Amino acid sequence: MSGNHLILFIGFAIISYLTLTLVLKVNRIKQLEAHKRNLKKSLEEMDEQAKLIVRTDIELNKAQEDLDKKISGLYSLQKISRQISTTLEEESIFNKVDPGHLEELGFEKSCAFLWDEEEKKFKIQLKIGYPEDYLRNITSRVDLDKNLYLNLIGTAKTFSSISDSADTRIKNKINAIFAVKSFVISPILPKEGSKGFLFIGTENQDVTITEGDEELITILGNQIGQGLENARLFEKSWRAQQELEKKIIERTRALSAALEEVKSASKRKTEFISSVSHELRTPLTSIKGYAAIMLEEKLGKLPPAVKERLKRVNHHSNELANMVNDLLDIARIESGKAEMKMTPQNLSSILATAIDLVTLQCRNKNITLAQNLQKDIPVIIADRSQIERVFINLLGNAVKFTPEGGKIIVRAKLKGEEVQIEIQDTGIGIPPEALKKIFDEFYRVDNAVNQEVKGTGLGLSLVKHIIEAHQGKISVASNVGTGTTFSFTLPAK
Ligand code: ADP
Mutate to test the pocket of ligand 1, among 409, 460, 485, 487 (most ligand atoms within 8 A of CB): 460
Per-residue pLDDT, 166: 67
Cβ atoms of 470 and 382 closer than 8 Å: yes
Q: Is the CB of 445 under 6 A from ligand 1?
A: yes
Cβ-Cβ contacts under 8 Å for 199 (sequence gap 6 or more): 109, 110, 111, 112, 113, 174, 178, 183, 184, 185
What span, in angstroms and rounded, lies between the C-alpha atoms of 81 and 96? 9
Averaged pLDDT in 10-residue chunks for the chain of 493 residues: 82 91 92 92 93 92 83 81 80 83 85 94 93 94 94 92 82 94 94 90 87 88 90 89 95 95 88 84 87 86 90 89 87 84 94 94 96 92 95 96 96 93 97 94 89 88 95 96 97 86
Nearest CA to ligand 1 atom 16: 445
Q: Is the CB of 484 under 6 A from ligand 1?
A: yes
Helix (H) or strand (E) holding 484: strand 483-491
Nearest CA to ligand 1 atom 11: 444
Contacts within 8 Å (CB) and 24+ apart, 439-446: 439/463, 439/464, 439/474, 441/330
What span, in angstroms and rounded, lies between the C-alpha atoms of 249 and 241? 12
pTM score, whole prediction: 0.55
| Vertex 395: Cα angle to 390 and 398 (nearest 5) | 130
Question: Which atom of ligand 1 is nearest the CA belonging to 462?
Answer: 6
Per-residue pLDDT, 292: 87
Alpha-carbon torsion angle 59, 64, 65, 67, nearest 10: 130
Give me ligand 1 centre to Cα 394, in Å. Answer: 9
Per-residue pLDDT, 207: 81
What is the Cα 231 distance to its own chain's centre? 18
Give me ligand 1 centre to Cα 430, in Å. Answer: 8
Per-residue pLDDT, 1: 57
What span, in angstroms and rounded, lies between the C-alpha atoms of 201 and 186? 11
What span, in angstroms and rounded, lies between the C-alpha atoms of 201 and 283? 103
β-strand 109-116 against 368-373: which pairing, if any? unpaired
Mutate to test the pocket of ligand 1, among 444, 450, 476, 478 (most ligand atoms within 8 A of CB): 444
Handedness of CA 292, 294, 297, 303 (dihedral sign): negative
- pLDDT tens-digit map of 269-320: 888 888 888 888 888 888 888 888 888 888 889 899 989 999 999 888 888 8
What span, in angstroms and rounded, lies between the C-alpha atoms of 469 and 465? 6
Helix (H) or strand (E) holding 100: helix 99-105
Give me ligand 1 centre to Cα 444, in Å. Answer: 6
What span, in angstroms and rounded, lies between the C-alpha atoms of 92 and 84? 8
Question: Which atom of ligand 1 is nearest the CA belonging to 461?
Answer: 6
- pLDDT tens-digit map of 454-463: 888 999 999 9
Per-residue pLDDT, 57: 92
Give me ligand 1 centre to Cα 384, in Å. Answer: 23
Q: Strand pairing partners for 368?
A: 407
Handedness of CA 83, 89, 90, 94 (dihedral sign): negative
Q: Is 375 exposed, middle or buried (0-12, 13-18, 19+ CB in 10 A)?
A: exposed
